[in-house]
Amino acid sequence: MTGALAWCLVLIVLFPAVVLAATSGAPVWVTQQVNAPGVAYRLFNSAAVGGQVSYHVLLPTDYNTSPARRYPVVYYLHGSNSVTAGIAPMSAAFRQAMDSGLMPPALVVFPNGLPFGMWCDAVGGAQPVESMVIPDLVAEVDTQWRTWPGPRARMVEGFSMGGYGAARMGLRWPALFGAVSMLGAGPLQLDFLIDDPNLNPIQLRRQILAEVYGNDPAVFEAQSPWRLAEGAVATLPPEYRLRQVIGSADFTVQYNRQFHDHLLALGLAHEWQELPVSVTRCRRSSERWATGSGTSTPGPWPMQMCCFAMVSSKALAQPCSLRCSLADSALSRAASSEALHGFAPRRCLVQCPQPTSMALTIFGT
């Protein structure tokens, strides 16, 4: 693959090895500025926080030369541990997608969700992350930048902890967000302290449970996308879009599959993509797979199968891009399964012959 997605790096912050003390101390609401092409850095006063909060925003190429034009907005929620590490590579990939026509010109907002803020309001009020975003940051963005207000021009996407946050916010606030994109999302299980050696260290999870959820498993469950989906399914508008993407090699894959099945059981139509890769291990290369030794070897998967930087399904893996909803009945093998080197998606083999851009559908352009 060349051109728009010739280099694409996924933010690898899905609860890596961390120092547990990183979750302690006063929240740091103002980050260092990330210097990246087309990315602006701003501070705003958040009523929820009671002070200034930083955010970054990627501007479309023509933003400064088309003063009469308004733009849709993508809120991209980062994963855990590092707030700003993915802004430069993600903004570059989004910009390439816009410039090549894979998605329409849009503002991409990168909020500061704190390293382990979980994109929700912490019990006790010390970390009001969700209230900082909704309504404070949304109002700031619509006031300071030329946006199209309304859910059909606003979507939320996130990776790992950010995917968890995107699901939570999207299901709680469908009047604000017309689309949700969950990339390698977690945690999606109902038991945050479940005994699973594949998950993050139990000590880290215990500390997050205490600092964010008041050390109450019932609070964590009530905040979970699983429970929020149950409460939202009857009220979501018909044009609402939800996408869930996971790699078959990811350590959260079983919980993503369970959540996907839960959505199907609820009758909540959504797009499901399970790709034959680990979404946390994609690297910058269109034709090669970077190894731990620092060398490169020919990769088994085309880069479009492991690039999750954008909201456009066309920019992902067409053979893997499968829509899962109760309306779909023609179950079949993926049309181009040979492109997957014999891999057949594990679940929901609904042929999607012409994947469309979620952004194009939602933004109506």
Per-residue model confidence as pLDDT tens digits over 111-153: 999 999 999 999 999 999 999 999 999 999 999 999 998 999 9
Q: Structure tokens of 5? A: 């997605």
On whether the CB atoms of residues 215 and 276 are closer than 8 A, the answer is no
Q: At what angle do helices 225-232 and 253-266 cross, to 10 degrees?
A: 10
pLDDT higher than threshold 50 for residue 250: yes
pLDDT higher than threshold 50 for residue 304: no
* Banded model confidence at residue 41, pLDDT cuts 50, 70, 90: very high
Amino acid at 91: S
**What angle (nearest 5°) sits at the alpha carbon of residue 147, between those of residues 234 and 87?**
90
pLDDT digits (tens, 9 = 90+) for 7-16: 222 322 223 3
Share of the chain above pLDDT 70, in %: 69
Query: Which residue is it, tokens 């501007």?
Result: 59
For residue 50, give the nearest of 119, 143, 151, 126 by alpha carbon: 126
C-alpha pair distances (Å), 19 with each of 101, 139, 204, 211, 221 = 41, 35, 9, 15, 25
Taking the C-alpha atoms of residue 348 and residue 263, their distance in angstroms, rounded to an integer, is 13
Average pLDDT across the chain, whole number = 76
* Banded model confidence at residue 64, pLDDT cuts 50, 70, 90: very high
What average pLDDT score do residues 183-194 get? 96
Query: Domain 3-363 class?
Result: alpha beta
Q: At what angle do helices 161-172 and 225-232 cross, to 10 degrees?
A: 20
pLDDT higher than threshold 60 for residue 276: yes
* Banded model confidence at residue 24, pLDDT cuts 50, 70, 90: low
Taking the C-alpha atoms of residue 137 and residue 30, their distance in angstroms, rounded to an integer, is 14
pLDDT higher than threshold 60 for residue 190: yes
Q: How many CB atoms lie within 10 A of CB 142?
A: 16
For residue 73, give the nearest of 147, 165, 143, 158 by alpha carbon: 147
| Domain extent listing, the chain | 3-363
Per the rule left: phi > 0, alpha: psi between -120 and 50, beta: everything else, 234 is alpha
On whether the CB atoms of residues 232 and 172 are closer than 8 A, the answer is yes
pTM: 0.78
pLDDT higher than threshold 50 for residue 66: yes
Sheet arrangement for strand 241-247:
39-46, 51-58, 107-111, 73-77, 154-159, 179-183, 241-247, 270-275, 322-324
In the prediction, which pLDDT does 185 show? 95
Per the rule left: phi > 0, alpha: psi between -120 and 50, beta: everything else, 184 is left
* Banded model confidence at residue 297, pLDDT cuts 50, 70, 90: very low
In the prediction, which pLDDT does 28 show? 96
Chain CA centroid to CA 361, Å: 18
Task: Name every residue whose Cβ is closer than 8 Å to that of residue 247 and which is 6 or more positions away in sequence.
Answer: 184, 253, 274, 275, 276, 277, 278, 279, 280, 281, 306
For residue 75, give the nearest of 364, 361, 359 by alpha carbon: 359
- Extract the runs of DSSP E, i.e. beta strands, from the chain: 39-46, 51-58, 73-77, 107-111, 154-159, 179-183, 241-247, 270-275, 288-290, 296-298, 322-324
* Banded model confidence at residue 198, pLDDT cuts 50, 70, 90: confident
Q: Structure tokens of 345? A: 């998606």
In the prediction, which pLDDT does 249 show? 82
pLDDT higher than threshold 90 for residue 208: yes
On whether the CB atoms of residues 279 and 12 are closer than 8 A, the answer is no
* Banded model confidence at residue 342, pLDDT cuts 50, 70, 90: very low
In the prediction, which pLDDT does 19 show? 36
Amino acid at 122: A
The burial of 130, by beta-carbon neighbours within 10 Å (0-12 exposed, 13-18 middle, 19 or more buried), is given as buried
On whether the CB atoms of residues 96 and 52 are closer than 8 A, the answer is no
